[in-house]
Structure 1
């Protein structure tokens, strides 16, 4: 079964599809919820025939709602304040959003197994394409404790009406939110599990520094609700039969380990290192001790000439990436932190030829929001664009770096990193990544978005998920039918095992994006391309307006279609409905279309 076997529900077929959702959800232990959702939808659509809803049969809850009537909450609007341009305040937008999930026309559809569950608005951002509209990031909590991966994007009009939303919520069938074990015991259990993982993978040299020091590595833990149904992947339906647990989310270096807060059992783990504005550049001189020697600092004006090639390339290419996001999407920074934002880059890290965006302090990272480059990697603009795009993704959708959502995270970084190269360096741009990194070339790159399987000089495919990873078996899947799991030999024999194979499965979404842009024939289907500029607009809008931390591959492909159809209404976008038909064609060509769409 696919990760989230759900349907796009048109008003004419809502009842039949919701019955199917109910049957599937009952297998996962959520028997009453879909039937109540069905009744609520029937009542709502009798009043509003334009209403469209897609339900996740794993949880039985709505995940996508379009066509809401622009009704406002009088308790919010009567006391609302507006600025000189007529824009409502963030506080009033937050009140509108939270009130909608408490008392709105579909609020009952989000009833959960716990009456202590609440939807909390975390952040308001202005819609980059529709003037006056806001996009609100929301999170589900129970007794104030966040449900990991349970969140949404809510669109609020200038008149303070919720018009549409995309959510991934949990049934949160959990009793007590008081842990039975202490934080310290959870950290001990997590460290024990990490010891086992590292001991079973001694051949992976990239983990040597962590292996040597993880016993004393800093660790922290926070309470979260862990719902296995929200961890999107081929085993999502099986996980849904597990129960929701109060957990200690433990962080040790790059690893995230969920420990049952009652029993101390390790429930799930993944690695969170995303590998592959004023600027600072530090030279580590092939060492491992941060921060190294500061060579450039835009804030103080410090600059030590002549700069080594790696330092110069890191500085210049970071500027080109920032310019791309500013010119095309109006971003004021990778993380959009205003004057506080400062991008620090560390070059010549050991003998590595890798690069990564840091999400926190680890053995390989000095802290959150920094770039670390191995030898010669800053010369590859697509790689610099890829890694810095991880920062944009973390600021907008914060896609969980594991399983399907992690594959989408990787693919978006590939897509936008490649588009950056095409725009900033058109004479050398292409659809392969990392060809300028030592040991790679255009004919043998790290990844190939046009042909994720990749081929050797004899035209033989370099992808077979049933064989161990090797130089002649290093390709990616290009269709959802070939999705790679941790148990598949090609993933099990690599570091990607710890992330749920994100660098393999990103190939499925990469091929989807390539077909949108360039077109072509794939698996017997023909797609007509719409060009790179339109692909970029669609990808960015999907990221800021629709994706959530738990969005899977099919969810994200659907978000591309939603973004396209919204952009048709934006003056100057150049988008028309036929472009969105091409997106649908590409979706089907790689197996990412939901059944019935």
Structure 2
């Protein structure tokens, strides 16, 4: 039978308890934590019913936009206190221990952005953080969060004590290299994998030969197991593509005279501490190589074309970010802009390696000199900006968004230069500009490009979520699915122009996106950025919503989402042919779509139609109401009595709460469950349903309450196990005086099975005892009738 699944980590959309929790804020004031529904109602009131939100509390994802506070926030303690008061939105406990402020920055509009990283057992969790934004008046205006609320402690894979030095050695053995670029850097982070959090050492390994490599290697701290590797190099999608040659046009260069030699070194940005330096690898796979010099100030030979383009375009990228956003170089701290050209032999790629740009010459057919296209240069350098701001994880939707942001800003950088915006030119929108790689890809094929933002389908990219490509290759299709947000950006620029588009996307990237932001999250971030810059009811906000709706992400109009559903009753007892009417309450009350669907877990026992339940036969059935919007559920357990039996038991352990080692609450009345028994919390690890009992320890027992059968009865239960050798499950019955054996099972079904036994009318109780040599067994759905 199917069961309702209850968990303390229930989805944000279910109605939460109205009983307040008391927590202590960082300033020692008592902060009362309201229920989620109370919090949203408060925010709606403060925002004059214009609150915008996207919440999935079960996954710890929250996006809120509006007026969120009536108390002034002036410092980091106030920011933490705000999250403490509203922690029910995240299903997050113990904010003081779980969150620590990483940075707090005030921007040019007077907004302060407070980023709080999540910790488990004092260890920072990879990619989990909350960002609180408040305006110059101290009012909270936006919260973006992605936290882990199902895991409260660190798990172990072994019993060793791996040190940082051990982790470095383990990581180094994963690669073959001549020498490392620098001593490996090590950080301790909590890495979440398969529903568990592990203490790991993140070891950064970088070297240049035999090929440039830069990886973060995650080594689990109690076993030395490598549980993940992340490539830090951001290659362009044209690794196997084609392009056109450097165009031969004359470019103004900022160079440096050293003795009698002119160097490709631009020191005009010295006020910010940044220099532009261009090197050659001399067709070897090394970097940075040799600083390019010339006998005269005219760099006009064929062998220098790639370097001229790289050098000039690096300056354009710098000026774009500095003039529009006051960003001093890629890291906003004046880092040098280093480029290496003539990398390798016929190398058909360009990439950002985490600290500099690298360009191949191409093979002359698929690509020409890859430094010859400004949107390619802007694309790759923008990977550096992304890495030092949102740091979008290079996988699946966040990875495709990473690629898309580079494409979008790459095109905007190229048009910024093309229309001479720096010197007062008009920044035009022209559909033909919205391509990537057209100046270097397939040089012998006019009019070709690597990607089109105006029409992604021209180059085998989807332009709508209906055609999203699910794949395990290319880090989840990051260079394929980027076409969807690319098309949205094109539509935005078409609507509001290039300059506003650039400002919105930069602010959305640097202030509101996080490492795990997906496509819908990017829309939320961009809407918030447009709201900051132009107002909540502006044409710019509408342009974002309309563009994203056009590619199948979100809606062009603001809809009120369903956040929860409840029933007028959660249990009912009926006789055969009896009926009961169930009704739903949808929250919030003004939700746009209040439609629900009804289902019964056991139609032979009870059926349901539009909330009317009809009893068919003795037994139990779970009636479920599920909202069409968001898939939120509420359940009612219906027990149907029949004349054939005087007493029965049916326990699916629906209310048990615990872990794989202990049960914390929910043991049904009358049942005797010993220590050494835990709870399976999800159907994926129990094999059938959840919760389910997991018998872990030798001698652990489960004893039913007393019952009285009027005649012969039947015992049935579901069983699964991986026990081997001499493990056994003893099943006994009690007649009021003695326990006698029903069965002694030593061969357990590895995929789960339901077993049944006849009982005589004198049976009063059933006992299950697990004698363990190795392994475990899972026990569920014990029925006696």
How far apart are residue 257 of structure 1 and its match?
A: 4.2
Shift in CA distance, 406/530, structure 1 to aligned 2, threshold 3 Å: same
User: Who is 2:83 aligned against?
Assistant: 101
For 1:560, what is the secondary structure of its paired residue? Answer: helix
Asked whether the equivalents of residues 120 and 154 of structure 2 are also in contact (C-alpha less than 8 Å), the reply is no
Asked whether the equivalents of residues 138 and 152 of structure 1 are also in contact (C-alpha less than 8 Å), the reply is yes
What is the alpha-carbon distance in structure 2 between the residues aligned to residue 311 and residue 95 of structure 1? 50
Please, which of 310, 316, 320 is the counterpart of residue 312 of structure 2? 316
What is the alpha-carbon distance in structure 2 between the residues aligned to residue 274 and residue 401 of structure 1? 9
Please, which of 572, 582, 585 is the counterpart of residue 546 of structure 2? 585
For 1:290, what is the secondary structure of its paired residue? Answer: coil
User: Who is 2:482 aligned against?
Assistant: 506
For 2:481, what is the secondary structure of its paired residue? Answer: helix
What is the alpha-carbon distance in structure 1 between the residues aligned to residue 122 and residue 58 of structure 2? 24
What is the alpha-carbon distance in structure 2 between the residues aligned to residue 123 and residue 143 of structure 1? 21
How far apart are residue 95 of structure 1 and its match?
A: 3.6
Within 5 Å, which residues of 2 pair with 1:382-397?
382-397=375-390
Asked whether the equivalents of residues 100 and 118 of structure 2 are also in contact (C-alpha less than 8 Å), the reply is yes
Matched, 1:118 2:98: yes
Asked whether the equivalents of residues 247 and 258 of structure 1 are also in contact (C-alpha less than 8 Å), the reply is yes
Shift in CA distance, 453/38, structure 1 to aligned 2, threshold 3 Å: farther
How far apart are residue 186 of structure 1 and its match?
A: 5.3
Bigger mean CA deviation after superposition, 255-264 or 557-566: 255-264
* Higher relative contact order (Cα pairs below 8 Å, separated by 6+ residues): 1
User: Who is 1:244 aligned against?
Assistant: 197
Matched, 1:152 2:145: no
User: Who is 1:449 aligned against?
Assistant: 453
Within 5 Å, which residues of 2 pair with 1:45-444?
45-48=40-43, 49=45, 50=47, 52-72=52-72, 93-102=75-84, 105-112=85-92, 117-128=97-108, 130=109, 132-171=110-149, 173-176=151-154, 180-181=159-160, 182=162, 183=164, 221-228=186-193, 242-252=195-205, 253-263=213-223, 265-276=225-236, 277-295=274-292, 306=299, 308-338=304-334, 341-351=335-345, 352-359=347-354, 369-375=355-361, 376-426=369-419, 430-437=433-440, 439-440=442-443, 443-444=447-448
What is the alpha-carbon distance in structure 1 between the residues aligned to residue 529 and residue 280 of structure 2? 41
For 1:582, what is the secondary structure of its paired residue? Answer: helix
Shift in CA distance, 60/378, structure 1 to aligned 2, threshold 3 Å: closer
Matched, 1:545 2:511: yes
For 1:435, what is the secondary structure of its paired residue? Answer: coil
Matched, 1:480 2:465: yes
What is the alpha-carbon distance in structure 1 between the residues aligned to residue 96 and residue 105 of structure 2? 27
What is the alpha-carbon distance in structure 2 between the residues aligned to residue 516 and residue 36 of structure 1? 37
Asked whether the equivalents of residues 441 and 448 of structure 2 are also in contact (C-alpha less than 8 Å), the reply is no
Asked whether the equivalents of residues 12 and 58 of structure 2 are also in contact (C-alpha less than 8 Å), the reply is no
What is the alpha-carbon distance in structure 1 between the residues aligned to residue 231 and residue 8 of structure 2? 29
What is the alpha-carbon distance in structure 1 between the residues aligned to residue 176 and residue 7 of structure 2? 38
Residue deviations 1:193-238, cap 9 Å, x none? Answer: x6xxxxxxxxxxxxxxx7676999976553322235xxxxxxxxxx
Q: Note the residue ranges of structure 1 that are not aligned, 5 or more in a row.
A: 1-22, 78-92, 195-209, 229-238, 360-368, 455-461, 463-474, 519-528, 570-574
Asked whether the equivalents of residues 159 and 222 of structure 2 are also in contact (C-alpha less than 8 Å), the reply is yes
What is the alpha-carbon distance in structure 1 between the residues aligned to residue 519 and residue 42 of structure 2? 33
Residue deviations 1:434-467, cap 9 Å, x none? Answer: 122253556332211112121xxxxxxx5xxxxx
What is the alpha-carbon distance in structure 2 between the residues aligned to residue 535 and residue 27 of structure 1? 45
For 2:196, what is the secondary structure of its paired residue? Answer: coil
What is the alpha-carbon distance in structure 2 between the residues aligned to residue 292 and residue 211 of structure 1? 21
Bigger mean CA deviation after superposition, 215-224 or 319-328: 215-224
What is the alpha-carbon distance in structure 1 between the residues aligned to residue 54 and residue 446 of structure 2? 42
What is the alpha-carbon distance in structure 2 between the residues aligned to residue 37 and residue 281 of structure 1? 59
What is the alpha-carbon distance in structure 2 between the residues aligned to residue 65 and residue 140 of structure 1? 21
Whose strand proportion is higher, 1 or 2?
A: 2
Within 5 Å, which residues of 2 pair with 1:21-60?
30-31=9-10, 39=18, 40-48=35-43, 49=45, 50=47, 52-60=52-60
What is the alpha-carbon distance in structure 2 between the residues aligned to residue 292 and residue 305 of structure 1? 22
Asked whether the equivalents of residues 113 and 173 of structure 1 are also in contact (C-alpha less than 8 Å), the reply is no
How far apart are residue 542 of structure 1 and its match?
A: 0.8
What is the alpha-carbon distance in structure 2 between the residues aligned to residue 257 and residue 514 of structure 1? 37
Residue deviations 1:383-412, cap 9 Å, x none? Answer: 111111112212221112222211111101
What is the alpha-carbon distance in structure 1 between the residues aligned to residue 93 and residue 151 of structure 2? 5
What is the alpha-carbon distance in structure 1 between the residues aligned to residue 417 and residue 181 of structure 2? 44
How far apart are residue 274 of structure 1 and its match?
A: 1.0
Residue deviations 1:411-442, cap 9 Å, x none? Answer: 01100110111121149971111122253556
User: Who is 1:559 aligned against?
Assistant: 525
Asked whether the equivalents of residues 380 and 434 of structure 1 are also in contact (C-alpha less than 8 Å), the reply is yes
For 2:143, what is the secondary structure of its paired residue? Answer: strand
For 2:202, what is the secondary structure of its paired residue? Answer: strand
For 1:548, what is the secondary structure of its paired residue? Answer: coil
Shift in CA distance, 547/269, structure 1 to aligned 2, threshold 3 Å: same
Whose helix proportion is higher, 1 or 2?
A: 1
Asked whether the equivalents of residues 112 and 173 of structure 1 are also in contact (C-alpha less than 8 Å), the reply is no
Give the structure-2-normalised TM-score: 0.53
Bigger mean CA deviation after superposition, 432-441 or 112-121: 112-121
Shift in CA distance, 383/38, structure 1 to aligned 2, threshold 3 Å: farther
How far apart are residue 58 of structure 1 and its match?
A: 4.7
Residue deviations 1:126-153, cap 9 Å, x none? Answer: 324x2x2222233112343211111233
What is the alpha-carbon distance in structure 2 between the residues aligned to residue 318 and residue 442 of structure 1? 26
What is the alpha-carbon distance in structure 2 between the residues aligned to residue 451 and residue 311 of structure 1? 32
Shift in CA distance, 54/38, structure 1 to aligned 2, threshold 3 Å: farther
| Larger Cα-atom Rg | 2
Asked whether the equivalents of residues 52 and 67 of structure 1 are also in contact (C-alpha less than 8 Å), the reply is no
How far apart are residue 318 of structure 1 and its match?
A: 0.8
What is the alpha-carbon distance in structure 2 between the residues aligned to residue 186 and residue 217 of structure 1? 16
